Amino acid sequence: MWKIYKPLLVLLLLQAAQKPAAAKPTVPQYNNATLQLSRGIQMAAYMNENANPCDNFYNWACGRWALSHPATAGRNKTSFVGLLEDLYVSKCAAALQEPDNESGNNNGAAATDTYLNNLLKTIFDSCHDTQTIKTVGYAPIWDALNFQIGWPQITDNDWFEDEYDWLKLVVLAKRKFNVDVFIAFDVVMDLQNADKSRIQLGAPALELEKHANYARHVQNKLQRFFPEMSNAWAQELASQVQQVEEQLGKALHNVTREAPPLERYVAELKASYGSFVDLSRYLQLMFDRSINEKVYETPKGYFKNLVDIIRLTPKLTLANYTLWKVLDRFDLGGSKEFCVHKLIDFFPHEMEYFYNRNYEDTELFQELQTMFHTIKYNLNSELQTSPRFSWISPKTLQNLREKLRAMRIEVLQPQEHIGFFQGGIKPSNMYPDQYYNNIINLLEWQNEKQLLKLHQAAALLHVPQSNPSYTLKLLPTYNTQTNTIQFPVVFLQPRFFWDTSYPISIKYGTFGFVLAQQIVRGLSENDSEAEQQKVWDIASELTFVKRSSCLADQSYYSAKEFEGKIVNDRERLKKAFADNGGLSLAYRLYEKWTQGKSEQDIGVLPRLPNKHRQQFFLAYAQFFCVDYADEVPEFVDLPEALRVNGAVANLNEFGNAFECGVEHTMKEKCVIF
């Protein structure tokens, strides 16, 4: 049944991808019955109705999730919330294929949008044109490599070892392709003076531990790039690459990465490591001038070990390793989704801005605003009159109400992060039929930006740029500094969590829970940085700690292992408190909404248990549906099953909704908020 209705569901979720919003996308009009049926089928497909919800509610709500969304070694986690990213990528791909529809407005904002559109679409087109990539081949990479300065020629056995200058090639790899080989170069904030920047030299990131069989990974990629070469050639080069990676790994084995960097003059580095690892010359080649200032060295001991590697490793092996590290920055293009991910790697915030311009949904955010103000109003009333908060002192209650009144929600605006991007690359440098040249231009631009940081105000170091640590934000989070709940643009996808055609139980089980969860989290934070004052007085804080200690005693939140794997989450009690408080608050508000309404007025989704309270809890639980691959070694976050089951076990109303008997009810409930 799921296979039959899945195409309908995908069509409904991707409806906003029909046209990018230079003029707003035209949304196909489906009747309420169709929309409700689609949502009901989706939710039913994840359920395991053979499970007992009173014994294991998560298994009842999400027991079949892994059947339709299995995790794999290549994608070690899938989740319901993670589908937001899949939709984000699909919609970006759709918008990138649309013809430009810009107005004649020549103001600065419109010019920036046009510039960004041209850049992103040109790179996307070149990446997706795999036939041209195969026809042109890797000649653009060879041209950029400049074989006259000692590279080993891949297709030629003649190689002049005397011309090989490993340090010069490493600098070329960094300047031209922004790849760290043997030496990691960065510009960081001065630890002693936040207004200044400082050069940092250290150990590069290694790829060896990211692959179960690194040599096989290298060999396979080499064979894709050079199908005319023999398997023996690819195997030998891969063996050399692995050998060097292993030696570099050993060089890092006994060093402490967490230690603060050493501050040293460049001349000291020259004296310490001599001509084998001449860091003074490295910086001179990087900047085309001598550098005599203090720099950071990290980690301690790495360069001493690197000297031995350079001294003892054959030159051809060093050269082949350097060549591989450059080649590993490239690929053969691919699908539309692959090319969107490629753009996200280079332009993460620009892509969010591009998406937001095309798919911004103000009506959905207005729904959130309405729900947010409803929660605030009711919680403020409870803080004033409800006996459930009698354990909090009057002064703290007043502070909580003031903080709640000042709290607001906002959409994270990606355009705030792209000012440093403008002007780095002109659209004329990009061509729809020259993928490799485009990538080379982007890599070179990345390094130029990095070099420029040394001469710019340190404040610019905070401007987000493309970097390996970027993670697309999917869920709203509370910001302590501004007392705001911040929603990523990707979260606001129509018909994903909520649509006006869905019953209100689904709205409160998703939006209501998320908002209440973050409000509870915000109120539990004692330091109100926005107002520079303590929210909780000492007596109330001590009582809060004592009351919340019961969570640590419950098996859901004290588990050291789950499904045979270690649970290693030091923030588990904070999650437990926010989940329990958020679910309880959202359900109280839902019950208040149902008062005076008939069952017909309340409504339910088809294909699901026909009790609206059960559908509220189902919507909440499926927010956490997830699957982990067997290769995941441990849980760094509290497993979702424990979070769901723990929160409902502490709520009497859940047992009432599912008519759970005494034997299924946890006697010692933990109720705080």
The predicted pLDDT at position 139 comes to 83
**SS3 helix, strand, coil % of the chain, rounded to 5?**
55, 10, 35
First to last CA, the chain: 42
The predicted pLDDT at position 213 comes to 87
Mean residue pLDDT of the chain comes to 86
Looking at the fold, whether 262 and 391 belong to one and the same domain comes out as: no
Looking at the fold, whether 200 and 301 belong to one and the same domain comes out as: yes
Contact 332, 224 (CB under 8 A): yes
The predicted pLDDT at position 21 comes to 41
623 belongs to a structural domain:
yes
Residues 6+ apart with CB under 8 A from 286: 171, 174, 175, 185, 451
- Quickly state the pLDDT bin for 666 (edges 50, 70, 90): confident
Q: What is the pLDDT of residues 304-336, one digit of tens each?
A: 999 999 999 999 899 999 999 999 999 999 999
Question: For residue 543, what is the domain's CATH number?
Answer: 3.40.390.10
Q: Is the pLDDT of residue 278 over 50?
A: yes
For tokens 């999917």, what's the residue? 474
Question: What DSSP string describes 143-179?
Answer: HHH-GGGSPPPTT-S---GGG--HHHHHHHHHHHH--
Q: Is the pLDDT of residue 236 over 70?
A: yes
Number of domains present in the structure of the chain: 2
Among 296, 313, 330, give the residue marking a domain's end. Answer: 313
Least-confidence region, from 264-268, 631-635, 660-664: 660-664
Looking at the fold, whether 658 and 520 belong to one and the same domain comes out as: yes
Looking at the fold, whether 387 and 289 belong to one and the same domain comes out as: no
The predicted pLDDT at position 463 comes to 38
Looking at the fold, whether 523 and 586 belong to one and the same domain comes out as: yes
Looking at the fold, whether 645 and 562 belong to one and the same domain comes out as: yes
Please report how many Cα atoms fall inside a 13 Å half-sphere around the Cα of residue 614, on the Cβ side.
21
pTM of the model as a whole: 0.86
Q: What is the pLDDT of residues 124-142, one digit of tens each?
A: 999 999 999 988 888 888 8
User: Distance (Å, rounded) from C-alpha 79 to C-alpha 45?
Assistant: 14
Host domain of residue 200: 170-313
81 belongs to a structural domain:
no
Q: Is the pLDDT of residue 33 over 70?
A: yes
Q: Is the pLDDT of residue 208 over 80?
A: yes
Output b/e per residue, 173-185; b: 16+ Cβ within 10 A.
Answer: bbbbbbbbbbbeb
Can you list the positions of beta strands (E) in 299-412?
Answer: 408-411
Question: For residue 304, what is the domain's CATH number?
Answer: 1.10.1380.10
Looking at the fold, whether 370 and 309 belong to one and the same domain comes out as: no
- Quickly state the pLDDT bin for 149 (edges 50, 70, 90): low
User: Distance (Å, rounded) from C-alpha 275 to C-alpha 498?
Assistant: 64
Residues 6+ apart with CB under 8 A from 180: 174, 204, 205
658 belongs to a structural domain:
yes
Question: What DSSP string describes 208-243?
Answer: GGG-TTHHHHHHHHHHHH-TTS-HHHHHHHHHHHHH
DSSP H or E stretch at residue 202: strand 197-202
495 belongs to a structural domain:
yes
The predicted pLDDT at position 593 comes to 96
530 belongs to a structural domain:
yes
